[in-house]
């Protein structure tokens, strides 16, 4: 038989993040690459999952989500954001935010259309666009200005795509993976104005919405003027409740969009795990003090790892949200990001992600960057620091304080 590989699959690589996790296992390294916690989910949430299984909530839920969980999503958004969401019409439950995004792309973006992606970006967004038959067009955040967005460049990119009749959507991830940027009210308002003026969708990945520092706040794009009808909001239980393996995510979209997303979701995965949706009802009922403590715990981890990386000679950017640190390796090594990340996991027992995986192919900006995840207990972060201290023998230059 002639061996044939589809054209779409040939246009992107395997996940670099997940590859670094495989290398971490292979070398017995501390995994500061993939963003999953090494600590337990809240006991009350685990108990709810066990109870649901024992009560035989083990068969298919309604395809687009168990009614109880969809009501819990709506209740949480009303309580936290003052947003009235219709659980029967607007909420779709899928297998994690990853499936939420690809279901949305397949439902709302046509082959040949274009999608704006900010870089550095979470590595799934480019392949998601390609799988949907679309073309990602990139607008860079300025690392020299603390990941600022140049709105002149953004509008020019949008206008040129619209002139060709091809722009369909913009993907917005805030708090951002990998940079830790939190888009502020003015930035979100200006993006919203462009979306209304040029008539495109905004798909928002808000999975880190409760992991915020230094007074930063999360503002849902859908609540800006003119945006509810053109925004698909995506989030999940994974990061907030330390259950990345559960794969329970959801979209919030107006009915005319949600219906299309539900169809795509149905034929992709049928449904998200029923007992874990039931446990999600308990999770989403958590009061504000849970979210406050979550942010405080991550702040401690952030500050510890920032100080350690600066001590070791890295130049870093202080994250405003999420749980990643982007680090410039120029003060530590002359190698590029891929070679240095390979050396770290193999010779020092610490896995990180090469920065080039967060930029478009051929873009050199990521070649001097790597990303560390600090969603680990303090003892693990301390051990990672101890292992990395051996980098001092390389004679690297001293690091710079956070940007």
**Fold type of domain 9-41+289-394:** 3.90.1150
Which of 103, 104, 190 lies closest to 139, judged by CA?
A: 190
pLDDT digits (tens, 9 = 90+) for 45-59: 999 999 999 999 999
Which of 304, 382, 385, 310 lies closest to 348, judged by CA?
A: 385
User: Encoding tokens for residue 149?
Assistant: 């967005």
The Cα–Cα gap between 151 and 155 comes to: 6
The Cα–Cα gap between 338 and 16 comes to: 10
List C-alpha distances in Å: 326 to 85, 121, 237, 386: 35, 12, 24, 19
Tally of CB atoms within 10 A around 216: 18
| pLDDT of 1 strictly over 70 | no
Sheet holding 315-316, edge to edge: 315-316, 324-328, 369-373, 353-354
Overall pTM surpassing 0.85 (yes/no):
yes
Tally of CB atoms within 10 A around 75: 15
Q: How many residues does the chain have?
A: 403
What is the CA 332 to chain-centroid distance, rounded? 28
- On average, the pLDDT of the chain sits at 94
The upper half-sphere exposure of residue 92, i.e. CA atoms within 13 Å in the direction of its Cβ, equals 32
Query: Per 3-state DSSP, what percentage of the chain is helix, strand, and coil (rounded to 5)?
Result: 45, 15, 40
Which of 153, 114, 155, 163 lies closest to 137, judged by CA?
A: 114
Where along the chain do its domains lie? 9-41+289-394, 43-287
2 vs 93, higher pLDDT:
93
Q: Cα angle at 193 between 151 and 103, to 5 degrees?
A: 95
User: Encoding tokens for residue 64?
Assistant: 């687009």
Peptide bond into 178 cis (omega under 30): yes
pLDDT digits (tens, 9 = 90+) for 293-311: 999 999 999 999 999 999 9
pLDDT digits (tens, 9 = 90+) for 69-128: 999 999 999 999 999 999 999 999 999 999 999 999 999 999 999 999 999 999 889 889
| pLDDT of 403 strictly over 60 | no
**Fold type of domain 43-287:** 3.40.640
DSSP 224: S
Helix (H, G, I), strand (E, B) or coil at 174: coil
Handedness of CA 396, 400, 402, 403 (dihedral sign): negative
Rg (CA), the chain: 21
The Cα–Cα gap between 180 and 394 comes to: 28
Beta-strand relationship, 350-351 and 324-328: unpaired
119 vs 399, higher pLDDT:
119
Lowest pLDDT segment from 4-18, 343-357, 378-392: 4-18
| pLDDT of 393 strictly over 90 | no
Which of 296, 309, 304 lies closest to 344, judged by CA?
A: 309
């Amino acid at each position: 038989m002639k061996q044939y590989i589809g054209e779409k699959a040939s246009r992107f690589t395997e996940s670099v993040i997940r590859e670094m996790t495989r290398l971490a296992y292979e070398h017995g390294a501390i995994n500061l690459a993939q963003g999953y916690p090494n600590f337990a989910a809240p006991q009350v949430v685990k108990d709810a999952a066990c109870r649901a299984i024992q009560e035989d909530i083990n068969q298919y839920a309604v395809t687009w989500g168990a009614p109880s969980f969809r009501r819990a999503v709506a209740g949480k958004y009303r309580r936290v954001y003052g947003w009235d969401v219709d659980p029967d019409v607007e909420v779709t439950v899928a297998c994690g935010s990853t499936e939420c995004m690809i279901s949305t792309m397949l439902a709302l973006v046509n082959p040949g259309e274009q999608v704006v992606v900010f870089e550095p970006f979470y590595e799934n967004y480019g392949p998601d666009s390609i799988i949907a038959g679309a073309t990602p067009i990139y607008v860079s955040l300025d690392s020299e200005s603390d990941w600022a967005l140049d709105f002149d460049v953004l509008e020019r990119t949008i206008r040129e795509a619209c002139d060709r009749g091809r722009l369909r959507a913009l993907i917005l991830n805030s708090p951002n993976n990998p940079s830790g940027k939190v888009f502020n009210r003015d930035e979100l308002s200006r993006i919203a104005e462009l979306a209304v003026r040029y008539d495109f969708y905004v798909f928002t990945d808000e999975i880190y919405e409760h992991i915020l520092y230094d007074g930063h706040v999360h503002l849902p794009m859908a609540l800006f003027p003119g945006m509810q009808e053109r925004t698909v909001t995506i989030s999940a239980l994974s990061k907030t409740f330390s259950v990345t393996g559960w794969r329970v995510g959801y979209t919030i979209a107006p009915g005319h969009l949600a219906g299309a997303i539900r169809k795509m979701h149905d034929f992709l995965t049928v449904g998200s795990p029923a007992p874990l949706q039931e446990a999600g009802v308990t999770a989403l009922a958590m009061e504000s003090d849970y979210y406050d403590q979550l942010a405080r715990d991550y702040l401690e981890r952030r500050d510890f790892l920032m100080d350690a990386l600066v001590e070791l000679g890295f130049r870093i950017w202080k994250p405003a949200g999420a749980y990643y640190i982007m680090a410039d390796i120029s003060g530590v090594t002359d190698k590029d990001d891929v070679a240095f990340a390979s050396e770290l996991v193999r010779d020092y027992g610490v896995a990180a992600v090469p920065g080039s995986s967060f930029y478009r192919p051929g873009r050199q900006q990521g070649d001097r960057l790597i990303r560390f995840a600090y969603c680990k207990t303090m003892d693990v972060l301390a051990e990672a620091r101890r292992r990395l201290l051996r980098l001092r023998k390389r004679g690297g230059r001293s690091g710079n304080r956070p940007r």
